[in-house]
């Protein structure tokens, strides 16, 4: 494909295991940034960036506000803020109301990135127990981007990808073992 | 629904007609807020929405209230409030009088949190907390000192995690669904409008807190506001920012020394 300029991965319950399996198999020279937005418990100042950094040769860091998105870097959305993408391809953070009981909300990152990257955006929604990300995937599609989900039959908690498949025209249903190849080929 | 160009039109209307300057705000967030309000209020068209903001001063106030983020809580980031309690305020306690500026105080939850700590450190009687916001509507709410009863469990947990040792419920009386905070906590709070974008320094302080406000500003506006804080802070005073905000990129940073692991800087230069 080669036209991807950003990949955003959203997930909730049951998504961490998927990330831990997929990240080690990613190319170290990906030509786009990856942003990971996963739900975490309130107040747990997470060790997620550290945990994921140990699983990949790509540079992993937590999002800083006003930071520019750079190819080959994996950015982790901080807990208790929404992560947004600005038109100049920098991040901004926002402490507004929770959406779908979640902050960070996957919808917010998907939607703001959709407007920026349009056809060059790929979003992947993983296992989870609420419907966050579904509206975001709708936006991605309406701006011409690519919507992918974890095949619900392979998800620890199928609800989130299932809701997406009901409400959005999904381009790719991915089993866990096919995800890394899918992402590598976007480069 | 609303395009980037239309956002610019609304922002320049606000500046031209009302003197509110949002042009230095990060766009993605403010655009989301505008679209949210647009659908919440079931606007029929952009033209009608714009006309209403321009001509209906009551609706204009609602617009300003809704496009700014006013989410806050008591003792948010307990570790931060612990440092305030154990390091910063005891240092300031040696002064005869403590002036604190809480910029962007929204509905006041942090102002009352600070009052509680000052009281427990036996400093409240010689302190004055100026709590400001650009938005008069939230300040009215702040001055009432009433917060949702449903939040008290969370706030009480935050309070304990921040080093509070009293019974948190002794600070308020339950009034149906609201918790009304004690009058003595209010006595040293001064709520007043102040717009960080357009207003100047109005006093000198030993502690300035501005948490989760700068994240909404672009870099230029961040620098401008940090200069304003620098101008308003006494030597050896403290500046506290939100957990994802920093002084690092500002020219004033060389005058400051950071408290390790906290978003608190002391003015040493």
Give the Cα separation of A186 and A141 in Å (integer). 17
Contact B219/A at CB under 8 A = yes
pLDDT the model gives residue A2: 59
Among candidate residues A82, A107, A132, A165, the one labeled active-site is A132
3-state secondary structure of B188: coil
Instruction: Give per-residue pLDDT as tens, B244-266.
Output: 999 999 999 999 999 999 999 99
The shares of helix, strand and coil residues in chain A, as percent rounded to the nearest 5, are 35, 25, 45
Residue A47: which pLDDT band, with cuts at 50, 70 and 90? confident
A-contacting residues in B 4-43 (Cβ below 8 Å): 4, 26-29, 32-33
> pLDDT tens, B112-147?
999 999 999 999 999 999 999 999 999 999 999 999
Would the pTM of this model clear 0.80, i.e. be above it? yes
Residue A17 designated active-site: no
What mean pLDDT comes out for the span A98-109? 96
CA distances from A187 to A7, A119, A137, A160, B101 (A): 10, 15, 21, 27, 50
Full DSSP string of B72-122: --TT-SHHHHHHIIIIIHHHHTTSSSEEEEEES-TTSHHHHHHHHHHHHTT
Q: Which of B71, B242, B244 comes nearest A96 by C-beta? A: B71
Query: How would you classify the pairing of strands A6-11 and A34-38?
Result: parallel
pLDDT at residue B42, rounded to an integer: 96
**Record: fold of B78-267:** Rossmann fold (3.40.50)
Q: In this model, does residue A44 exceed pLDDT 60?
A: no
pLDDT at residue B221 tops 70: yes
A91-103: average pLDDT: 95
pLDDT, position B269:
76
- Express as a percent the part of chain A with pLDDT over 70: 96
Q: Which of A92, A108, A111 sits opposite B215 (nearest CB)?
A: A92
Q: In this predicted complex, what is the ipTM?
A: 0.93
Helix or strand run (H / E) with residue B204:
none
Instruction: Give mean pLDDT, residues A108-124.
Output: 98
Give yes or no for a contact between A72 and A31, defined as CB atoms under 8 angstroms apart.
yes
| Arithmetic mean of pLDDT, B215-240 | 97
Distance of residue B51 Cα from the nearest chain A Cα, in angstroms: 26
pLDDT tens-place string over residues A117-134: 999 999 999 999 999 999
> What is the pLDDT, as a whole number, of residue B35?
96
Cα distance between residue B185 and residue A29, in whole Å: 57
Say yes or no to pLDDT of A106 above 70.
Answer: yes
Query: Element (H or E) spanning B50, and its range?
Result: helix B46-55
Beta-bridge partner residues of A7: A34, A122
Q: Tell me the chain B residues in contact with residue A66 when contact means C-beta distances shorter than 8 Å.
A: 218-219
What pLDDT is stored for residue A35 in this prediction? 98
B212 touches chain A (CB under 8 A): yes
Percent of chain B exceeding pLDDT 70 equals 100
Domains of chain A in start order, with CATH, are 6-186 (3.40.50.180)
Q: How far is B226 from chain A (nearest CA, A)?
A: 16
Find the residue in A nearest to B161 (Cα): A43
Report chain B residues whose CB lies below 8 A from the CB of A84.
26, 28-29, 32
Give the residue extent of every domain in chain B. Answer: 4-67, 78-267
- B8-23 pLDDT, tens digit each: 999 999 999 999 999 9
* CB-CB under 8 Å, A94 with B69: yes
Q: Give the distance from residue B245's alpha carbon to the nearest chain A alpha carbon, in angstroms.
A: 8
Is residue A41 over pLDDT 90?
no
Cα dist from B120 to B20, B164, B181, B185, B228, whole Å: 39, 8, 15, 11, 30
Name the strands in the sheet holding B233-241, side by side, starting at the edge strand that comes first in the sequence. B189-193, B127-133, B98-103, B205-210, B233-241, B264-267, B256-258
Q: Say whether A93 and B27 touch across the interface (CB within 8 A).
A: no
pLDDT classification of B57: cutoffs 50, 70, 90: very high
Indicate yes or no: CB of A84 within 8 angstroms of CB of B4: no
* B237 token code pair: 């005073």
pLDDT tens-digit readout, B162-172: 999 999 999 99
Report the pLDDT averaged over residues B205-223: 97
Instruction: Quickly state the pLDDT bin for A40 (edges 50, 70, 90).
Output: confident
| CB atoms near residue A168 (< 10 Å) | 21
Nearest Cα neighbor of A135 from A162, A156, A157, A164 is A164
**Is pLDDT of A45 > 70?**
no
The pLDDT, as a whole number, for residue A42 is: 55
Q: Is A46 a catalytic residue?
A: no
């Amino acid at each position: 494909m080669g036209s991807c300029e950003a990949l955003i991965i959203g997930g909730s319950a049951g998504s961490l295991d998927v990330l831990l399996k997929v990240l080690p198999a990613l190319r170290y020279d990906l030509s786009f940034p990856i942003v990971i937005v996963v739900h975490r418990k309130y107040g747990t100042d997470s060790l997620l960036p550290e945990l994921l950094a140990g699983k990949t040769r790509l540079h992993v860091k937590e999002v800083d506000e006003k930071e520019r998105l750079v190819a080959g870097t994996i950015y982790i959305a901080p807990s208790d803020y929404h992560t947004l993408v600005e038109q100049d391809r920098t991040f901004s953070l926002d402490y507004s109301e929770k959406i779908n009981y979640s902050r960070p909300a996957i919808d917010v990152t998907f939607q703001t990135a959709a407007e920026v990257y349009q056809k060059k955006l790929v979003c992947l929604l993983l296992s989870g127990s609420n419907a966050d990300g579904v509206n975001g995937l709708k936006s991605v599609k309406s701006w011409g981007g690519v919507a992918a989900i974890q095949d619900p039959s392979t998800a620890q908690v199928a609800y989130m990808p299932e809701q997406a498949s009901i409400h959005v025209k999904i381009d790719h249903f991915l089993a866990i073992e096919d995800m890394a190849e899918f992402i590598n080929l976007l480069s | 629904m609303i395009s980037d160009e239309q956002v610019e039109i609304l922002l320049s209307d606000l500046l031209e007609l009302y003197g509110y300057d949002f042009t230095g705000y990060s766009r993605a967030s403010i655009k989301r807020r505008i679209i949210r309000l647009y659908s919440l209020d079931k606007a029929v068209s952009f033209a009608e929405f714009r006309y209403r903001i321009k001509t209906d001063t009551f609706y204009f106030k609602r617009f300003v209230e809704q496009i700014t983020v006013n989410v806050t809580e008591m003792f948010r980031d307990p570790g931060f409030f612990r440092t305030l309690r154990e390091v910063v305020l005891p240092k300031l306690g040696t002064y005869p009088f403590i002036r604190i500026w809480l910029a962007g105080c929204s509905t006041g939850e942090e102002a009352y949190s600070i009052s509680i700590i000052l009281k427990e450190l036996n400093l409240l009687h010689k302190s004055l907390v100026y709590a400001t916001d650009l938005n008069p509507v939230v300040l009215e709410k702040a001055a009432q000192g009433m917060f949702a009863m449903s939040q008290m469990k969370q706030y009480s947990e935050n309070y304990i995690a921040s080093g509070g040792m009293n019974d948190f419920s002794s600070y308020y009386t339950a009034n149906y669904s609201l918790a009304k905070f004690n009058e003595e906590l209010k006595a040293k709070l001064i709520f007043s409008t102040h717009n960080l974008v357009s207003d100047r320094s109005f006093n000198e302080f030993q502690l300035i807190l501005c948490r989760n406000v700068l994240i909404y500003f672009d870099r230029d506006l961040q620098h401008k506001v940090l200069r304003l804080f620098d101008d308003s802070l006494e030597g050896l005073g403290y500046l506290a920012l939100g957990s994802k905000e920093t002084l690092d990129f500002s020219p004033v940073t060389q005058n400051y020394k950071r408290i390790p692991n906290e978003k608190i800087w002391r003015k040493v230069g």
